[in-house]
Structure formats: C-alpha cells, structure tokens
C-alpha cells in the first residue's frame, strides 16, 4: 500500500491533505515464542507487509478514525471519553494508543486518521501491532513527543493490554517499531536491550517461507491467558521473578522441584529451553552458520507442540510436510492455535515445498494455505 494512495483517500474522507504518512510493519518471530512475558529473549524480523496511516493533528479533543480494510465509515470519538474496556471494535487499537499516550501525560489533542494495511489479520503476523505502532509514530512526530522506538512500543503494549484487553507481551510492538532491513532483532524483553543481527537470507541462497494456515486464532481468548498464568505459577513455585531467571544448567533441578505439577513442568521446560534456542540461533547467525539454525527452529516447534501445547493440526502438517520435502527447519510462529508457520529452505526448493504443503492441505481437507516469502524489512518510519 503506497503512501500516495493512502494520502489521497485521506483527502477524500477529511477534505484536506494529511500532514504526513507513516508506515509500520507486521513481523515474523524467527525464534523465541512465549518467552516475552517471561522476561526472556525473542528474535523477530519485520515483514514487507505493513500498515500505512495518513494523519493530521486536531486541537478540539476529537479523534476520527477510518480503515480502508474495515466496512463502515469514519468513527468519531471524543478523547475525554476514551476508557479501557470498550466494545472490542477495531478502533480500540488506535484509540488505545491515543489513550495510552494521554494517560502517560503526553499532550495529544486530537487527530484525523486514515489507514490501510497489507498485514493479514489474525495470522500471527501482528497486524494489531502494525496498527498501534503506525499511530504512535505519527502522533510522536506530529506532537513532537520525541519518544524513542522502545518507549512507543511500551505505550502500544499498554494500549493492547489495558485498553483492548489482550494480555500480549512486548515483542510485537518492539519489532514493528525497531526492526531494521536485512536484520533480525535480538531483544531482551527484561531490559528491552536490543541487538540487530544481520539476517540476509538471499545472499546465502536461502529463503524463509511464511505459511499462513488461515486458521484464525483468538488471542484475547482464554488459552493464551492460561499459559501465561501457568508460567507465572512456575516462577512463583521456583521462587524467581520470572522464568528467565532459571539457569539453563539448572533446568533439570528446577523441574524436579516442581514435582507432580505436570502442566507447570511442561510450560517451564518450554520457556527455558526456548530462551536457550534464541541464544543458539544468535550465536549461529553471528558465526555465519545460517543453515544450522534450521534444526533449532524445528526443535522449537516440537517444544511448542508437545510442552506448551499451542500448535494445531494445520501447523503440524506444514512443519511435517516441509521437513519431509527437504526443508532445513520449520516451526509455528506467533501466539499459536492457528496463524502461521515458517519454513527455512534452500532457494531452489521453494516451489517444490510450496506445492507439497498445498497438496498436503488439500489431501487433509484443509482450506488452502497462503504461502509467501518473508524478506527481513524496515521497521516503522515516516514515508512523507
Ligand atoms: P494479529 O496476530 O494479526 O495481530 P490480533 O487479533 O492481535 O491478530 O489483531 C487483529 C485485529 O487488529 C483486527 O481484528 C482488527 O481489530 C485490528 N486490525 C488489524 N489490521 C487492521 C486494519 N487494517 N484496519 C483496522 N483494524 C485492523
Ligand atoms: Mg496481535
């Protein structure tokens, strides 16, 4: 979606040119799943798919919102009336960001917004963070708030947690705000320190496919919250602030201490081994051993399927089929219960693999998946 097109539609809707146009991408998480609310490590990279927003300031306490991707006209809200626990409408995402900024004391006095996004919704690719971050960045620029990307991400997370009511971690918003082209973002979610890790697949003759199973997850639904509560219970039983604090070489002892808490044992084992997998992938990429990350990704899938238990038949089918047809590694990505899987493959194998996955889905009677190549792309920025 181009800046020009979004600006033109804004002018049609609101009768004046926008003050600017901004973009914020969706993301794929390479490795580090369900670690972000355990103070652990994640490693997302930005997709070329992005939300683009044309925005102008207002001074009268009114917020007007329009999305090209949602049926219905312009939604008009009064800033003073913004309050958490709303109606579950799409407007809760951008309105939540405005609420979070104002609640933190930033002088946002109103805005007109038109946005359009190419990030598929509910596919585990974080269309929600793209919408939040593009609004946050636009308001940051227009109202000269001068907030760094990581802080905008925090405010967007607060919007999603408190205003929308979805208990998500900090990864999605940070990825959208801070990723850089040709890199994956190694993020420590405890202190938000980050390192850009070069991740140039094309230069090595590799590709990373995203397979959107088209199975829709419901994030704010109970399962995510249950896993999160289980992790917190594990940390409490082990006497640590977060599962991040369980040392890798102390995992067996920790699991033994949890005794017959069978579910908590599984959750803890996933989170601790997943943190370790992130660090292994970082080390391999820094050593130039990109192909060697494949088996680590596959191990991550097994852990999410068997220990964290958030996979589904469609995601397992992608992974099994890809591996059976020569993929270097594959795993589900995102919150789980549907959404997307990623497949690391030699460039020459892309067509064979895509066909194999499509045929396997047809044979199993599943709706056709959407397969596309993920190229590590730029984070949020102003377009015009
Ligand atoms: P995802 O994994 O894609 O982030 P979520 O359930 O967290 O899934 O967020 C999806 C929601 O974000 C949509 O239901 C909608 O409310 C909002 N959203 C995403 N993209 C758009 C868009 N282009 N226009 C309006 N709302 C959007
Ligand atoms: Mg989301």
pLDDT at position 217? 66
Give the phi and the psi of residue 118 in degrees, each rounded to 5: -105, 5
CA dihedral 211, 217, 222, 228 (to 10 degrees): 30
- Cα-Cα-Cα-Cα torsion 69, 71, 73, 76, nearest 10 degrees, comes to -80
Q: Residue 306 carries which DSSP code?
A: I
**Any catalytic annotation for residue 200?**
no
Of 52 and 334, which is predicted with more confidence?
Answer: 52
348: which DSSP letter?
G
Who has greater pLDDT, 220 or 145? Answer: 145
> From CA 42, how far away is CA 179, in angstroms rounded?
12
Determine if ligand 1 sits within 6 Å of the CB of residue 90.
yes
Q: Whole-number mean pLDDT of the chain?
A: 96
Instruction: List residues forming the annotated binding site for Mg(2+).
Output: 128, 160
Does the model's ipTM exceed the 0.85 cut? yes
Residues with C-beta atoms within 5 A of ion ligand 2: 126, 128
Model confidence pLDDT, tens digit, residues 37-93: 999 999 999 999 999 999 999 999 999 999 999 999 999 999 999 999 877 899 999
Q: For residue 218, is pLDDT > 80?
A: no
pLDDT in tens, 252-278: 999 999 999 999 999 999 999 999 999
Band of pLDDT at residue 219, cut at 50, 70 and 90: low
Q: Determine the average pLDDT of the residues in 11-25.
A: 98
What is 280-294 written as a DSSP string?
A: HHHHHHHTT-GGGHH
Which ranges of the chain does DSSP label H, i.e. alpha helix? 3-14, 92-103, 127-142, 149-158, 171-178, 222-238, 251-258, 262-286, 293-302, 313-324, 350-364
| Ligand 1 midpoint to CA 89 (Å) | 10
pTM, two decimals, is 0.94
Vertex 288: Cα angle to 283 and 293 (nearest 5): 60
Per-residue pLDDT tens digits for 172-197: 999 999 999 999 999 999 999 999 99
Pairing of strands 41-42, 62-67: unpaired
Contact between 42 and 35 under an 8 Å Cβ cutoff? The reply is yes
Q: Are strands 62-67 and 111-117 parallel, antiparallel or unpaired?
A: parallel
Nearest residue (CA) to ligand 1, atom 16: 90
- Cα 35 vs. chain centroid, distance in angstroms? 13
pLDDT at 220 over 60: no
CB 38 within 8 A of CB 271: yes
**pLDDT tens-digit series, residues 294-313:** 999 999 999 999 999 999 99
Q: How far is the CA of 115 from the centre of ligand 1 (A)?
A: 12
Ligand 1 atom, smallest distance to 335 CA: 2
Average pLDDT of the residues in 356-364:
98
Measured from the CA of 124, which atom of ligand 1 is nearest?
A: 2
- The 10 Å Cβ neighbour count of residue 287 is 9
| H helix or E strand, kind and range, residue 29 | strand 20-29
- Helix, strand, or coil here: 120? coil
Alpha carbons 99 and 365: distance in angstroms, whole number: 44
Exactly one of 39, 112, 172, 212 is catalytic; name it.
172
Sheet holding 194-198, edge to edge: 41-42, 183-188, 194-198
Start-to-end CA distance of the chain, whole Å, equals 14
Cα separation values, 199 from 41, 83, 111, 346, Å: 17, 41, 37, 15
What is the DSSP code (8-state) at residue 377? B
Residue 342 to residue 3: CA distance in whole angstroms: 29
Question: Is residue 131 lining ligand 1, measured as CB closer than 6 Å?
Answer: yes
Position 168 pLDDT exceeds 90: no
- Helix, strand, coil share (%) of the chain residues, nearest 5: 45, 20, 35
């Amino acid at each position: 979606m181009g800046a020009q097109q979004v600006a033109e539609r804004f002018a049609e809707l609101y009768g004046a040119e926008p003050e600017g146009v901004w973009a914020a991408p969706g993301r794929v998480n390479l490795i580090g799943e369900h670690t972000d609310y355990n103070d652990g490590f994640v490693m997302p990279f930005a997709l070329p798919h992005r939300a683009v927003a044309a925005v102008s300031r207002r001074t009268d306490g009114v917020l007007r919102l329009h999305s090209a991707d949602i049926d219905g006209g312009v939604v008009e809200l009064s800033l003073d009336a913004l309050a958490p626990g709303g109606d579950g409408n799409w407007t809760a995402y951008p309105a939540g960001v405005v609420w979070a900024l104002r609640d933190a004391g930033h002088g946002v006095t109103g805005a007109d917004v038109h946005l359009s996004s190419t990030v598929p919704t509910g596919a585990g690719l974080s269309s929600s963070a793209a919408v939040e971050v593009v609004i946050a960045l636009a308001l940051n620029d227009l109202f000269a708030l001068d907030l760094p990307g990581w802080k905008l991400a925090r405010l967007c997370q607060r919007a999603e947690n408190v205003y929308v009511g979805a208990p998500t971690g900090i990864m999605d918003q940070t990825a959208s705000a801070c990723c850089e082209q040709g890199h994956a973002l190694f993020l420590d979610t405890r202190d938000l320190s980050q390192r850009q890790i070069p991740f140039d697949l094309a230069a090595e003759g590799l590709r990373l496919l995203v397979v959107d199973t088209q199975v829709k997850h419901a994030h704010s639904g109970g399962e995510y919250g249950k896993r999160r509560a289980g992790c917190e219970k594990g940390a409490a039983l082990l006497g640590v602030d977060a599962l991040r604090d369980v040392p890798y070489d102390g995992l067996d002892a920790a699991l033994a201490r949890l005794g017959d808490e069978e579910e908590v044992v599984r959750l803890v084992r996933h989170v601790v081994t997943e943190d370790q997998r992130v660090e292994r992938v970082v080390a391999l990429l820094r050593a130039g051993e990109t192909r060697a990350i494949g088996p680590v990704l596959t191990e991550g899938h097994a852990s999410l399927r068997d220990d964290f238990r958030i996979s589904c038949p469609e995601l397992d089918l992608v992974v099994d089929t890809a591996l059976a047809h020569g993929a270097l590694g594959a795993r589900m990505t995102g919150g789980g219960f549907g959404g997307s899987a990623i497949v690391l493959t030699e460039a020459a194998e892309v067509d064979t693999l895509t066909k194999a996955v499509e045929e396997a889905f047809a044979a199993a009677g599943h709706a056709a998946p959407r397969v596309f190549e993920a190229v590590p792309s730029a984070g949020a920025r102003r377009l015009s």
